[in-house]
Amino acid sequence: MAKKIKTFFACSSCGSTFAKWSGQCGQCGEWNTLIEERAAPAGRTKRQGGPAALPTPLAEVANSTDMTVSCGIGELDDVLGGGLVPGGVLLLAGEPGIGKSTLLLQVADRIAMAGRPVLYISGEESLPQIKNRAERLGLGSANLAVLAETDWPSIEQSVREVNPVVLVIDSIQTTHHPDWPSPPGTVGQIRECAQALIDYCKKSNAIGFLIGHVTKEGAIAGPKVLEHMVDTVLYFEGERHQAHRIVRSVKNRFGPTNEIGVFRMTERGLIEVTDPSGLFLSERPEDAPGSVVGCAVEGRRPFLLEVQALVTPAHYGSPQRVSTGVDQRRLILNIAILEKICGLALGARDVFTNIAGGFKSAEPALDLAVCAAIISGFQEIPIPSDTFVVGEVGLAGEIRAVPHIETRLKEAEKMGFKRAVIPAGNKKKMEYSGDIQTIAIASLTNLIKVIS
Ligand code: TYD
Ligand code: MG
């Protein structure tokens, strides 16, 4: 009788494994993500680790913080909390076509320009294609080497020869490890290749970048499968038809998380945006009802944003509540509070909200701006364009204090704002002596009075 090949089912979204197939992943709840994969061959032992390493007294271990390597791009160094840490492995995840290869080729070149050997390994593009891109971007450091390869043992051999300070693998989904029986892009392959890279980087102190595509179809395992293995996870966000891109750190063993860097995609690659508030407010309409400026703090940085609301009569059964950029559940909650506490008749109205420029934030401090935009849209009364609004709204319609109020006020002052509606709880304690006139409110009912 032929020997049965052992298989298992892995979720391409979260990486959980199951003995049986089912339509929905029992772990993360995603549908149609379980893919059959071949199990590791019988008798396969754990990776051979070479001679056992001896423990070192902690006091004698060298400090790594002085060895941080700059990416050569300030926005990215800030996102990483200073720069790259030797031996660290970073995952850059994002949708296909968003600009991952472009950004990392630029980073690779900048680091190489600083005199460090860098190896860029692509399994997606041929060498002439990489060359084309590099020429378009105006890159060409002598220390930057490229390799078009997908097979891990060949990659490892080249890496050992070049001994780079930084290596980039573009992408993890195209890399293949012969020790693992399933094809490239499966959960097992992705983990096997990533582990091989992590082992190499930890031993050689090289910095590894992994590019991972986020896919919705589920046939290719996504970067989530790797999040717990790598040191740093960066997400590349943005709309393909818009020029700007956001890099967000969602995990960082060596620095703060949730830091954001803003870039603009141009003819000559990605350019840092050092004044994101200016960018997000650049197309703000003057005196338009339903538009108000709020302020979100992501990581340590304030971003002034235009929150828009469109309030129209609902023509079908239940009214629509659609949110782009702001958290959908917070939107529904804010609408319910506006109805109950302020008596706003939104029951027969569709409400659409949007953060201009494709920025996403779930910060509760945006609640008040969302409410102000809805009130303004509903009453068709514009909010003065020199006013910005910040505060968290509680279920009883009370306005709650928000963190970093001084940071937000200073950013608004820099952008030329004259008035701010802020929580009363903040006004009592804050240390702000700038030029912005602050109007403190304690309840949502007061908001209607101050903005109408
Ligand atoms: P790319 O880095 O290939 O995306 P990813 O690696 O995430 O799949 O970027 C692809 C898009 O970026 C493509 O639509 C073209 C655009 N682009 C520019 O606008 N300017 C440039 O200088 C480059 C290199 C790409
Ligand atoms: Mg690419």
Which pLDDT tens digit goes with each residue over 250-269?
Answer: 999 988 888 899 999 999 99
Structure tokens at 451: 């903005």
Phi first, then psi, for residue 101 (nearest 5°) are -65, -40
Question: Ligand 1 within 6 A of 377 CB?
Answer: no
The ligand placed nearest to the CA atom of residue 125 is 2
Percentage of the residues of the chain whose pLDDT score is greater than 90: 65
Cis status, amide bond into 171, omega within 30 of 0 = yes
- With a CB cutoff of 8 Å and minimum separation 6, the contacts of 437 are 418, 419, 420
Find out whether the beta carbon of 268 lies less than 6 Å from any atom of ligand 1.
Answer: yes
Confidence class of residue 47 from pLDDT cuts 50, 70 and 90?
A: low
CA 1/CA 288 separation, integer angstroms: 76
Q: What is the mean pLDDT of the segment spanning 431-437? A: 90
Ligand 1 proximity of 94 Cβ (cutoff 6 Å)? yes
- The mean pLDDT value for 171-182 works out to 90
For ligand 1, atom 21, the nearest C-alpha belongs to 269
- Name the class of domain 67-274: alpha beta
- Closest Cα to atom 16, ligand 1: which residue? 99
Structure confidence at residue 418 as a pLDDT band (50, 70, 90): very high
Is any ligand 1 atom within 6 A of the Cβ of residue 123?
no
Model pLDDT for residues 62-102, shown as the tens digit of each residue: 776 567 899 999 999 999 988 999 999 999 999 898 999 99
Question: Which of these CATH numbers, 3.30.230.10, 3.10.129.10, 2.40.50.140, 3.40.50.720, describes 279-451?
Answer: 3.30.230.10
41/81: higher pLDDT: 81
The CA 166 to ligand 1 mean position distance, Å, reads 21
- Find the range with the poorest average confidence among 118-122, 208-212, 275-279, 329-333: 275-279
Q: What is the pLDDT of residue 65?
A: 58
* Ligand 1 lined by 137 (C-beta under 6 Å): yes
This prediction has a pTM of: 0.83
